[in-house]
């Protein structure tokens, strides 16, 4: 209907679900990067390289290979934690990886990835969790590093017993995503930014399915350190003239973004994005009747800005699906995922 190649929505949702179920906290994001690479491998015409930092660059030569190259980026790493301390009780104190509030993961199931390769399950709890023991303190205690801990699902009551499980300071901790697809909604942790990785892969599939290639040579950077601020600081090839960052839109009171549209972010904590490129994306959305919003995110940074701050001399813009309760238990709708994928397709095909 839009005049764009058809998107295989069941494929998009299936790959997204598999990606969400692949733990990849920043610093240990390789499994999600590798899954994305494996998913892209069957499509003809893409060449794959890895940066030394571990990001994936999938390069697709364009119909007019002499024209300036373009790039799109989305990140496969997510929020998570690392073991900060093994307590005398055998429980774990954590150090957060990425920016989130403790209350957003309170009660969540976790997997601890032991240094020697073992995995131990557990959950994140307030140190004074039981209402029957601590009464009003359960409600009144401030959630901070010192008041949150991991209770391991293993028989341990000492640091020594926990070490015997193969757990050491510095081990990575991943939160259960709790993916559920219902009524067109996708509810899960880490839709930021796996939703957008899935949109990029679905766009590649949509073009490939009809034997098309992008108008310009295009590099897809699947970055692996976005949540700590420097993901796409490296990895964008020097020939690239413009970068479209694909990352979730922030939904909430006062925001235009919602779970049924893709959003063009024109400004966030890092200031305005590139006006010319943003304008072109707006016109593409109108040309193809893609449901979109324009918004400003008050507390937000992107990999596009990471590249700008690292000295990247390119036009940068930001689009993505609306995600409710970002950096908490997130949710979006398939309509926003399809709209974002359509927008990526329109950009890939733009002369
Ligand atoms: Zn993100």
Question: Which pLDDT tens digit goes with each residue over 93-130?
Answer: 999 999 999 999 999 999 999 988 999 999 999 999 99
| Across 327-347, average pLDDT | 98
* Model pLDDT for residues 230-273, shown as the tens digit of each residue: 999 999 999 999 999 999 999 999 999 999 999 999 999 999 99
Q: Give residue 75 CA to ligand 1 midpoint distance, Å.
A: 7
User: For residue 318, what pLDDT band results from cuts at 50, 70 and 90?
Assistant: very high
What Cα–Cα distance (Å) separates residue 120 from each residue in 108, 143, 151, 188?
Answer: 14, 24, 10, 22
Query: If you measure from the C-alpha of residue 160 to the centroid of ligand 1, how many angstroms do you get, rounded to a whole number?
Result: 37
CA dist 181 and 38 (Å) reads 23
Of 1-10, 127-136, 293-302, 320-329, where does mean pLDDT reach its minimum?
A: 1-10
Average of per-residue pLDDT across 7-34: 98
What is residue 67's predicted lDDT score, i.e. its pLDDT? 87
What is the average per-residue pLDDT within 274-303?
98
Instruction: Give the pLDDT of residue 174.
Output: 98
Rounded Cα–Cα distance for residues 253 and 298 (Å):
12
What pLDDT is attached to residue 163?
A: 97
Q: Which residues are catalytic?
A: 226
What does the pLDDT average to over 11-34?
A: 98
What gap in Å lies between CA 267 and CA 313, rounded to an integer?
18
pLDDT band for 220, please (50, 70, 90 cuts). Answer: very high
User: What residues sit around ligand 1, an ion, with C-beta below 5 angstroms?
Assistant: 192-193, 247
Token digits of residue 306: 């990471």
Two tokens, residue 103: 């209350």
Provide the pLDDT for residue 11.
Answer: 98
How far from chain centre, in Å, is Cα 16?
11
User: How high is the pLDDT of residue 76?
Assistant: 98
* 170 pLDDT above the threshold of 90: yes
Under 8 Å between Cβ of 72 and 247? no
User: Which pLDDT band, with edges at 50, 70 and 90, does 2 fall under?
Assistant: low
CA of 295 from ligand 1 middle (Å) equals 16
Q: What is the mean pLDDT of residues 206-211?
A: 98
Say if residue 296's pLDDT is above 70.
yes
139 CA to centre of ligand 1 in angstroms: 30
Q: How many other C-beta atoms can be found within 10 angstroms of the C-beta atom of residue 161?
A: 15
**Cα(192) to centroid(ligand 1), Å:** 5
**In the predicted model, what is the mean pLDDT of the chain?**
97
Average confidence (pLDDT) over 25-48: 98
Residues 250, 326: contact at Cβ < 8 Å? yes
Reported as a pLDDT band with limits 50, 70 and 90, residue 284 is very high
More confident residue, 66 or 249: 249
């Amino acid at each position: 209907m839009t005049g764009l190649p058809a998107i295989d929505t069941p494929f998009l949702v299936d790959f997204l679900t598999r990606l969400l179920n692949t733990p990849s906290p920043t610093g240990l994001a390789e499994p999600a990067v590798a899954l994305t690479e494996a998913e892209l491998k069957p499509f003809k015409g893409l060449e794959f390289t890895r940066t030394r930092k571990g990001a994936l660059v999938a390069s697709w030569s364009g119909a007019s290979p002499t024209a300036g190259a373009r790039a799109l980026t989305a990140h496969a790493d997510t929020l998570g934690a690392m073991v900060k301390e093994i307590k005398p009780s055998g429980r774990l104190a954590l150090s957060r990886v990425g920016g989130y509030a403790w209350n957003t993961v309170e009660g969540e199931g976790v997997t601890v990835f032991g240094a020697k390769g073992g995995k131990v399950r557990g959950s994140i709890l307030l140190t004074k969790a039981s209402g029957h023991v601590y009464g009003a303190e359960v409600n009144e205690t401030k959630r901070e590093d010192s008041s949150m801990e991991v209770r391991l699902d293993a028989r341990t009551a000492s640091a020594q017993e926990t070490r015997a499980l193969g757990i050491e300071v510095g081990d990575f901790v991943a939160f259960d995503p709790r993916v559920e697809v219902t009524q067109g909604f996708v509810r899960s942790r880490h839709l930021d930014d796996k939703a957008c990785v899935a949109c990029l892969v679905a766009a590649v599939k949509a073009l490939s399915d009809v034997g098309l290639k992008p108008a310009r040579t295009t590099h897809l950077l699947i970055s692996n350190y976005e949540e700590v601020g420097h993901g796409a600081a490296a990895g964008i090839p020097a020939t690239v003239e413009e970068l479209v960052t694909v990352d979730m839109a922030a939904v909430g009171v006062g925001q235009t973004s919602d779970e049924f549209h893709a959003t063009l972010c024109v400004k966030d904590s890092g200031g305005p994005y590139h006006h010319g490129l943003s304008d072109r994306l707006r016109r593409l959305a109108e040309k193809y009747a893609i449901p979109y919003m324009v918004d400003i995110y008050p507390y937000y940074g992107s990999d596009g800005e990471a590249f700008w701050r690292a000295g990247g001399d390119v036009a940068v813009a930001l689009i993505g699906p609306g995600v409710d309760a970002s950096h908490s238990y997130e949710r979006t709708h398939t309509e926003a995922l399809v709209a974002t994928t359509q927008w990526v397709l329109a950009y890939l095909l733009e002369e």
